[in-house]
């Protein structure tokens, strides 16, 4: 009797979808089946389908190729195979005693097209080596009666197309076949900068977890890993020029990113079309720097006697030290952009220091904002001299720093509409993060609040809105570490990913709710421990 009840239960669960998600009590969210996340620009899908022949299915490069493509094909070959692995087929077929009958039923189905053994991967132009801002990520997918192909003029578009194709592959309800509907897709992203910021200072995050995070980013078509690598609490970056920074400033000798670790992360990101942008925040958030180099920081007096404050902007040695470090950083991190921070600088220590006050008097600096401007100006100029471009937090812009053309202003707090209007009116590019703070956790369903934020939700001309490059979701690490950071990020970052990839008219949260149920289970199947997005239920 128990076995009969089990079979009935499995039949009920698997009859919903390949990645069944049943929500009870309350209104059920019926998961989609083979729907894409993020939603593509245009897609036409037929009821007809081709059955993937597991024993011989493969991707075949037919034009240009390179290491990025070869390794991507290997990854996605395994991903597609895993959708129909033996254990999953057994689960889905548990309610059917006669699989041969099931096979006969789909062979005679009027919607059955043919067996699919090969998907051609047509890269129409030579591979580029490094991902970059504004890279071409457009692609086309055709699964027709006679052939299946993924096409793009860019390796980055091929990567996004492989991801979309893999999402289209589903296991039948009875586990007897792996199939894909006949489909035509033409897709490209709305914004060129689609990022995830991860803080590795408040809690150390292991390399293995960061690598898994990169996989999760690729599954959501995110393309920037903003590595907030150091902060007040610890300095885990192992510098070639200043090894004492991590030797004395890291939490523990085991909690350090070696040069090889950093190169591994940059390389694995590159293979997934993800840029790695480093952030070494100054002049604030630098307490860990002062463990080995207290001379960099401002000595406090009066009620703050014995403490150290932000970096000392009055000493030429501070700028000499930073320039040497930034020379190393641009050698290590190949991206054109360096994030300089510049946020949340406390002025109390500067105000207590007689040497700082005398410096301000001699240089006619009438406010601490002007002093901070002087510091940031020197750092921005250093990055400019190193042939790199700067990203800065919004305080740098608000405080009036003269920013070189192309400096990106990162909005994280306050009235985002007003700030985006002002920044772009001044001709500067902008990024948005203020509505995508993943450390602000409310409930499992809080992805909806992220989904309802749009970077173009401000009054401005078309030229102004074109200056909004995109945005980033931010995972600050006060209360996350290896044991919960992936669950906090996924699938909540998926909402941000869709808002930055899909077209402006993609706003239907009910449709998104069904697709994110499937996508969360899809990520679980691929080894990403995404938390349930909306409520009670489970994945098959």
Residues with active-site annotation: 344
Q: HSE (CB half, 13 Å, CA atoms) of 323? A: 14
Rounded-to-5 percentages of helix, strand, coil across the chain? 40, 20, 40
Total Cβ atoms within 10 A of residue 300: 18
447 alpha-carbon distance from chain centroid: 15
End-to-end CA separation in angstroms for the chain: 23
Under DSSP, is residue 350 helix (H, G, I), strand (E, B) or coil? helix
User: For residue 308, what are the CA distances in angstroms to 299, 304, 478?
Assistant: 5, 8, 22
Count of other CB atoms within 10 angstroms of residue 536: 13
CA distance 247 to 392: 28
Instruction: Give the Cα separation of 338 and 391 in Å (integer).
Output: 6
Is residue 156 within 8 A of residue 271, CB to CB? The reply is: no
Side-chain half-sphere exposure of 93, counting CA atoms within 13 A: 19
Task: Please name every residue paired with 474 in a beta bridge, in sequence order, or none if there are none.
Answer: 197, 437
Instruction: Give the H/E segment covering residue 121.
Output: strand 118-123
Task: Please give the Cα distance from 19 to 516 (Å, whole number).
Answer: 11
Backbone angles phi, psi at 50, to 5 degrees: -110, 140
Give the closest residue to 211 by CA, choosing from 19, 486, 450.
Answer: 486
**Cα distance between residue 413 and residue 267, in whole Å:** 32
Q: Kindly report the length of the chain.
A: 540
């Amino acid at each position: 009797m128990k076995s009969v009840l089990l079979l009935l239960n499995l039949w009920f669960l698997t009859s919903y979808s390949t990645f069944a998600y049943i929500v009870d009590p309350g209104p059920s969210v019926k998961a989609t089946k083979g729907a894409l996340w993020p939603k593509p620009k245009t897609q036409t899908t037929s009821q007809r389908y081709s059955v993937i022949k597991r024993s011989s299915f493969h991707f075949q490069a037919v034009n240009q190729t390179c290491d990025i493509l070869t390794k991507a094909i290997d990854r996605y070959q395994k991903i597609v195979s895993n959708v129909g692995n033996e254990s999953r087929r057994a689960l889905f077929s548990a309610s059917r005693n006669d699989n041969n009958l099931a096979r006969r039923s789909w062979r005679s189905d009027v919607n059955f097209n043919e067996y699919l053994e090969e998907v051609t991967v047509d890269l129409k132009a030579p591979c580029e080596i490094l991902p970059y801002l504004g890279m071409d990520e457009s692609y086309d997918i055709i699964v027709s009666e006679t052939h299946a192909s993924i096409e793009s003029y860019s390796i980055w578009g091929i990567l996004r197309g492989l991801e979309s194709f893999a999402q289209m592959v589903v296991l039948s309800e009875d586990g007897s076949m792996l199939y894909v509907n006949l489909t035509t897709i033409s897709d490209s992203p709305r914004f060129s900068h689609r990022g995830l910021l991860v803080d590795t200072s408040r809690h150390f995050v292991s390399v293995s977890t960061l690598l898994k995070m990169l996989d999760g980013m690729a599954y959501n078509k995110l393309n920037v890993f903003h590595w907030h690598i150091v902060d007040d609490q610890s300095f885990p970056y192992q510098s070639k020029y200043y090894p004492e920074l991590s030797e004395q400033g890291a939490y523990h000798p085991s909690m350090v990113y070696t040069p090889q670790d950093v190169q591994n992360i940059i390389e694995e990101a590159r293979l997934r079309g993800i840029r790695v942008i480093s952030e070494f925040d100054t002049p604030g958030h630098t307490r860990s720097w002062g463990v080995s180099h207290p001379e960099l920081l401002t000595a406090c007096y009066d009620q703050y006697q014995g403490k150290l404050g932000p970096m000392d902007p009055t000493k030429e040695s501070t700028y000499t030290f930073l320039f040497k470090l930034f020379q190393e950083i641009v050698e290590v991190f190949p991206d054109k952009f360096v994030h300089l921070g510049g946020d949340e600088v406390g002025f109390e220590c500067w105000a207590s220091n007689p040497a700082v006050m005398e410096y301000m008097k001699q240089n006619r600096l009438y406010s601490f904002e002007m002093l901070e401007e002087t510091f940031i100006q020197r750092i921005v100029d250093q990055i400019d001299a190193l042939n790199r471009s700067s990203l800065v937090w919004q305080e740098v812009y608000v405080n009036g720093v003269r920013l070189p053309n192309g400096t990106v202003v990162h909005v994280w707090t306050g009235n985002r509409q007003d700030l985006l209007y002002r920044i772009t009116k001044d001709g500067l590019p902008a990024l948005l993060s203020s509505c995508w703070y993943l450390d602000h956790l409310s409930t499992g369903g809080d992805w909806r609040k992220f989904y309802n934020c749009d970077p173009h939700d401000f009054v401005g001309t078309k030229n102004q809105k074109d200056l909004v490059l995109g945005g980033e979701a931010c995972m600050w690490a006060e209360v996350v570490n290896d044991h919960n950071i992936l669950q906090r990020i996924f699938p909540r970052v998926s909402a941000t990913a869709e808002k930055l990839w899909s077209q402006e008219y993609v706003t239907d949260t009910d449709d998104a709710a069904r697709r994110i149920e499937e996508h969360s289970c899809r990520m679980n199947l691929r080894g990403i421990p995404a938390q349930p997005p909306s409520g009670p239920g489970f994945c098959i």
